[in-house]
Structure 1
């Protein structure tokens, strides 16, 4: 039996004859039943097909496929029947590259080109074009695109004047087995990931990985390393700072504030409130009549909870608990009416809970407290959040938590514990580099938030970096004095109002580049305060592993291409023609037979 070629279907056109599905050969017009083996046997004997496959006069082996002239395809003449379409090897390779790039950039499944509907689309678009297989998309095409994208990454790093290394993953290493490394220029570009095994000296392993990346990127332009809050990561900080004294190792602020949220929810009084709230939600949701009554009464009795759905805290982030509290508070009136209804069979425990004023007061106060902390988690995850905003954020967080704790369900000992947790969170997040960023951000000039110790530590950072950048320390500090006193360049009001419309680093580079302090300030103010980019990549990594059968090396390459393609600006060379002007006239043609 002849060997079945994978592209046999493109040589036939589907047709319906007497209600039966048939196919017609595109070369000799003979019809056959829809059977791949018979179709292949026909191609092996078809003389017209054999003639089309013979090399052209230039020695090329382009594929030329005559296809019937449909209303949406051009024909040779009003009476013409066929169109000759050809795609030479260079055009095929260029089309494959472009298609592969689109698949990677949109995180489309690598099996896309195996789908019959996509095959038909490509056939309509270009009959002679044969799209790459899944194997090609996951092998040599991926290798080529990875090399090209990594070259762009290294080029972007080379042009950057301030680089931050972000690292995350050890805290959930059992789940993913992978540590993600990102290089921020300040655009967060995926750099590499390491597949870890059980390590005896974990902190040393991580520190060595970080030091290797710093050396590869160029130590002279790396000013900070940002990691998650895993103890192993924190233990690696000292080793990095010892090897590179000008680099500051700091913790992810979003991770730490999220941990603060988790610690507050874990307090006994808060846990007890969450259990009671969940019992109320489950009691209604698991009883069809009660659930229906709750929905009905919201509309018929003009309750303020019109459209509210009672939800359970399924979300893994901070919003789960808050959404449950919110749904209960919005449905409070309906729930209390149900508890006293003579027509509903309500258990005494449910009735006691929804009629307990202390329960509802606790929900309200706790919701305010948790929403406050949770919103700061979201704030720190924003792409536009600056390192200088961390100091101000903790100042506001401390003030508002102190005000809300007194009315919460937490007992006095638990309230003291929460404030102690806040102290540890701030100690983890706020380092001298944060104080320096705060003092150098024009939006914060004149605000008295820092302690004397923090101000002195900021001076040390500025002096240290001025030496690293081969700047005159005296001139740099003199420039800093004029900036703080709003003298010299900073005397007018216009320059200060402009800082509200651009980032702080751009403000220093664009308007204050003549000042000795500019290089130090712009470098510090480009440092991101979180490892948010790493967290997003961790999620992508898990999804790629779950839904695919690629090796670890292939997954890393695919992840790198997917992440970086959407961050790097497309260059003009990506769209340059592969052929000369003379080749271009004949490489993508449609001729009449």
Structure 2
């Protein structure tokens, strides 16, 4: 058997065993320390090794790697009773495999170091021994650029086919005083469009307005009907500049951001702050003392058996969202009996201030009422972040929120002046979140027909929006308003009960497009009802940015491309061409004949 001292390394897989670098034979799995001579001698005698790696010209003139594959029970033999199958990968197949692997890595948010992992290398070797997976450097450069360009063309194609799009914009700052602004184009499917990383001094309303106007011009001003942003002052200040440049576009605030501000204002009241401080003191005191923590666990177990408690443990407000404080309050309330038993136990040494808090009935009453109030507000935050949240639901949401908050304030720890402050915060929240286009969406949503609770001012503002969009869409305003009158009075097309029951089974925009497309109002209504009420899509992307940045030091443009692929790849159905064979049947025949000769 010929000796190939220079190529010996590719027949062994490096690994770390008991702190030492070792090399395992790819054929019989025997392990050696790093010694080229001994490893070559092993290859000469290895019964599983028969054919040496070689380069042979492929049918198209390109080179193809041939690798001997050991005859394990799960691999086919070349001939009956034979020991090896000669595997080969030509350049074309290698490139196609790299593309598919890269796409899978990007779509699943897998680490770019995946292909450097020894276990993944062995897995690829079992599937296709001759295939050499791309390195981290290749995954983060050439392959990333190619896949990004391919998916971006799909994004632009989807935007081009949409009849109504919304620009969603949200930003945040990090400790290095740089801001990252995310821009999403909803078709209504939320597609990641771009991001901008800026220094704090350039994070101005003018900068944001110019960015938004550039995106609007890129995707086509005629099909953009709204811009949705978070509640940063710079964002809100940019609204007027956008609306001045494009009079048919409505700039609105993210509803979940507005309600989150209401939650933060409520927690920031002096009485609620004091309650949070007392609650956290109790939780920390018990959790940080091993004897008390174990006693609490035992008491909880006993109370669970007596059906006076559940298995919840004490929780600190570690979450940055609204659930942190609510979870802490809930854990205390569910452990109340255990904590009170511990406080009076003669065998446990509990600090006097903690004992006084645990035995204070007013503390528990305020904790319960305040938890209910905060939980109520928090639920509305999550509700507006849902993918199925509708612009038409915002008006109804605030009427419900106002009613429930008014009923819950009295049970909280807030005194009268603080309760008034919370209601004032609710007014500011509603002013930020509810605009004329929300009123128009509410009036046009068939699910809210017959439930009109709008003020005269809101109704007039809705008429103005409908008229304005009619002109923008080159529709006859009189015919559009006449159609709206028939819709409101349930006459003509809307006279039967069947058409109204159908709206419970489809989205409002689909209802207008599908069943009411013959009406002049249809184009206006379907456009308005496709507008999302919140920047939830940007919030999901923000977490993706943090995860990608955590993988290592990548340039900002690489990070943006990775996030764009992670977000957008899963929104498009794979096309047949992505999996089409790379070779024709004739090429396969030539390749087969070449390999068998």
The TM-score with structure 1 as length reference comes to 0.92
Q: Name the CA distance, whole Å, in 1 between partners of 2:594 and 2:259.
A: 62
Q: Deviations over 1:162-194 (max 9, x none)?
A: 100011114669666311100000010000011
- For residues 510 and 190 of structure 1, do their structure 2 counterparts lie closer, same or farther at Cα, with a shift above 3 Å needed? same
State yes or no: 1:405 paired with 2:391.
no
Q: Name the CA distance, whole Å, in 2 between partners of 1:167 and 1:173.
A: 21
- For residues 588 and 216 of structure 1, do their structure 2 counterparts lie closer, same or farther at Cα, with a shift above 3 Å needed? farther
- For residues 22 and 493 of structure 1, do their structure 2 counterparts lie closer, same or farther at Cα, with a shift above 3 Å needed? closer
1:496 corresponds, among 488, 500, 512, to: 500
Q: Is the partner of 1:180 in helix, strand or coil? A: strand
Task: Give how far 1:33 is off.
Answer: 4.6
Aligned partner of 1:445 in structure 2 is 449
1:101 corresponds, among 100, 103, 112, to: 103
1:246 corresponds, among 245, 248, 266, to: 248
Q: Name the CA distance, whole Å, in 1 between partners of 2:274 and 2:170.
A: 33
Aligned partner of 2:329 in structure 1 is 325
Q: Which moved more, 1:117-126 or 1:569-578?
A: 569-578
State yes or no: 1:557 paired with 2:561.
yes
Unpaired segments of 5 or more residues in structure 2?
Answer: 16-21, 45-49
Q: Which moved more, 1:343-352 or 1:471-480?
A: 343-352
Aligned partner of 2:84 in structure 1 is 82
Q: Is the 8 A contact 2:51 2:68 kept in 1?
A: no
State yes or no: 1:9 paired with 2:13.
no
Q: Name the CA distance, whole Å, in 1 between partners of 2:201 and 2:177.
A: 16
Aligned partner of 2:119 in structure 1 is 117
RMSD in angstroms over aligned alpha carbons?
Answer: 2.9
- For residues 288 and 586 of structure 1, do their structure 2 counterparts lie closer, same or farther at Cα, with a shift above 3 Å needed? farther
Moved over 3 A (4+): 2-5, 10-14, 21-26, 31-43, 48-51, 170-176, 198-201, 584-593
Q: Name the CA distance, whole Å, in 2 between partners of 1:552 and 1:570.
A: 28
Q: Name the CA distance, whole Å, in 2 between partners of 1:36 and 1:522.
A: 72
Q: Is the 8 A contact 1:76 1:592 kept in 2?
A: no
1:375 corresponds, among 372, 379, 388, to: 379
Q: Is the partner of 2:112 in helix, strand or coil? A: coil
Q: Is the partner of 2:366 in helix, strand or coil? A: helix
Task: Give how far 1:72 is off.
Answer: 1.1
Pairwise mapping of residues 188-267 of structure 1 onto structure 2 (< 5 A)?
188-199=190-201, 202-267=204-269
1:179 corresponds, among 177, 181, 203, to: 181
Pairwise mapping of residues 36-435 of structure 1 onto structure 2 (< 5 A)?
52-56=54-58, 58-170=60-172, 177-199=179-201, 202-301=204-303, 302=306, 304-435=308-439
Q: Is the partner of 1:63 in helix, strand or coil? A: strand
- For residues 51 and 343 of structure 1, do their structure 2 counterparts lie closer, same or farther at Cα, with a shift above 3 Å needed? closer
- For residues 34 and 583 of structure 1, do their structure 2 counterparts lie closer, same or farther at Cα, with a shift above 3 Å needed? farther
Q: Name the CA distance, whole Å, in 2 between partners of 1:410 and 1:3.
A: 82
Aligned partner of 1:17 in structure 2 is none
Q: Which moved more, 1:302-311 or 1:320-329?
A: 302-311
Q: Is the 8 A contact 2:32 2:39 kept in 1?
A: no
Aligned partner of 1:35 in structure 2 is 34
Q: Name the CA distance, whole Å, in 2 between partners of 1:459 and 1:472.
A: 14
Task: Give how far 1:368 is off.
Answer: 0.7
Q: Deviations over 1:236-293 (max 9, x none)?
A: 0001000100000001111111111011000000001111111111222122222222
- For residues 496 and 358 of structure 1, do their structure 2 counterparts lie closer, same or farther at Cα, with a shift above 3 Å needed? same
Q: Name the CA distance, whole Å, in 2 between partners of 1:380 and 1:175.
A: 29
Task: Give how far 1:228 is off.
Answer: 0.5
Task: Give how far 1:367 is off.
Answer: 0.6
Q: Name the CA distance, whole Å, in 2 between partners of 1:313 and 1:68.
A: 56
Q: Is the partner of 2:310 in helix, strand or coil? A: coil
Q: Name the CA distance, whole Å, in 2 between partners of 1:408 and 1:25.
A: 69
Q: Name the CA distance, whole Å, in 2 between partners of 1:221 and 1:166.
A: 14
Q: Is the 8 A contact 1:204 1:236 kept in 2?
A: yes
Q: Deviations over 1:387-446 (max 9, x none)?
A: 001100000000111111122211111111111100000000000110000000001111
- For residues 349 and 4 of structure 1, do their structure 2 counterparts lie closer, same or farther at Cα, with a shift above 3 Å needed? farther
Task: Give how far 1:343 is off.
Answer: 2.5
Q: Name the CA distance, whole Å, in 2 between partners of 1:126 and 1:59.
A: 22
Q: Is the 8 A contact 2:494 2:500 kept in 1?
A: yes
Pairwise mapping of residues 469-484 of structure 1 onto structure 2 (< 5 A)?
469-484=473-488
Q: Name the CA distance, whole Å, in 1 between partners of 2:315 and 2:593.
A: 60
Q: Name the CA distance, whole Å, in 2 between partners of 1:388 and 1:184.
A: 17
Q: Name the CA distance, whole Å, in 1 between partners of 2:564 and 2:31.
A: 47
Aligned length: 582
Q: Is the 8 A contact 2:184 2:191 kept in 1?
A: yes
Q: Deviations over 1:270-328 (max 9, x none)?
A: 00111111111122212222222221122335252232211111111101111111111
Aligned partner of 2:546 in structure 1 is 542
Q: Is the partner of 2:183 in helix, strand or coil? A: strand
Q: Is the 8 A contact 2:59 2:594 kept in 1?
A: no
Q: Is the 8 A contact 2:470 2:476 kept in 1?
A: yes
Pairwise mapping of residues 19-30 of structure 1 onto structure 2 (< 5 A)?
none
Q: Is the 8 A contact 2:177 2:199 kept in 1?
A: no
- For residues 144 and 39 of structure 1, do their structure 2 counterparts lie closer, same or farther at Cα, with a shift above 3 Å needed? farther
Q: Is the partner of 1:229 in helix, strand or coil? A: coil
1:533 corresponds, among 516, 534, 537, to: 537
Q: Is the 8 A contact 1:170 1:232 kept in 2?
A: no
Q: Is the partner of 1:161 in helix, strand or coil? A: coil
The TM-score with structure 2 as length reference comes to 0.92
Q: Which moved more, 1:577-586 or 1:545-554?
A: 577-586
Q: Name the CA distance, whole Å, in 1 between partners of 2:337 and 2:516.
A: 59
Task: Give how far 1:34 is off.
Answer: 5.2
